Amino acid sequence: MNDFNQIQELWNSQSKKKTSIHPHDIIQKTEIQIQKIKNKYIGTAIILAITLAVLIAYFFWIGFYQLSLFTTGMSLMIGMLSWRITLELISMKRFSKIKPNASFVEYSERITAYHIWRKKVHLLHTPIIYLSYIAGFVLLLPVFKSNMSAGMFWYCAISGSVFLIGFGFLLISLIQKEIKMLNYLKEITNFKD
């Protein structure tokens, strides 16, 4: 019986905190998260736009205007980056239509529709864009080999390949995280039914 009294005393000695979470606090935290996500999209679009500008500048600086492996490879890389920037801008616009102060049902439906869009971007568009970008890079390698020293060619070939492989793994990881979020939001939306 002594053990029970000790347990009872421990139970009674606990502080009785009252946690009150106001809807305003939840909306404010949601708005902060939304702003972080918007900043992420803006950052991604800026990085892609800078990369695109560098590729375009390099393309015109070299001055290959006739159809060749270089023109085809650079055009493929430039086109794929342009496509990805367009997808990110569309995603940003769709995301900005989601209002955290909407009803739970409306918010859940909009966020789920947004993440379904992102799933299409990741599972359909991203592999096409990434593989086409790699194809563009591969088309540039013979041009690099004939126009660069052996050391510079191998540096470009190896560092480019390592970057593309590493970036591919990073991309897969990020896509998996976003798909997990989509599945979680589907569960929440199904919970309301």
Question: What would the 3-class secondary structure string for 60-125 be?
Answer: HHHCCCCCCHHHHHHHHHHHHHHHHHHHHHHHHHHHHCCCCCCCHHHHHHHHHHHHHHHHHHHHHH
Query: Which residues of the chain are modeled with pLDDT < 70?
Result: 1-3, 15-23, 26-27, 63-67, 182, 185-193
Residue 6 lies in a domain: no
Q: At what angle do helices 104-120 and 150-191 cross, to 10 degrees?
A: 150
- Residue 79: the pLDDT is 94
Tell me which residue range forms the domain holding 111: 27-191
DSSP symbol at 192: T
- Residue 18: the pLDDT is 57
- Residue 67: the pLDDT is 65
CA distance 23 to 11: 31
Q: In sequence order, what are the residues at sequence separation of 6 or more whose Cβ sits closer than 8 angstroms to the Cβ of residue 130?
A: 80, 168, 171
Residue 65 lies in a domain: yes
- Residue 96: the pLDDT is 84
Count of structural domains, the chain: 1
- Residue 35: the pLDDT is 79
- Residue 80: the pLDDT is 93
**Do residues 174 and 121 touch, judged by C-beta distance below 8 A?**
no
- Residue 128: the pLDDT is 95
- 3-class secondary structure, 9: helix
**Do residues 76 and 133 touch, judged by C-beta distance below 8 A?**
yes
Residue 9 lies in a domain: no
Residue 11 lies in a domain: no
pTM of the model: 0.72
Place of tokens 């939001």: 185
Residue 95 lies in a domain: yes
CA distance 92 to 117: 11
- Residue 189: the pLDDT is 55
Residue 43 lies in a domain: yes
Residue 19 lies in a domain: no
Residue 14 lies in a domain: no
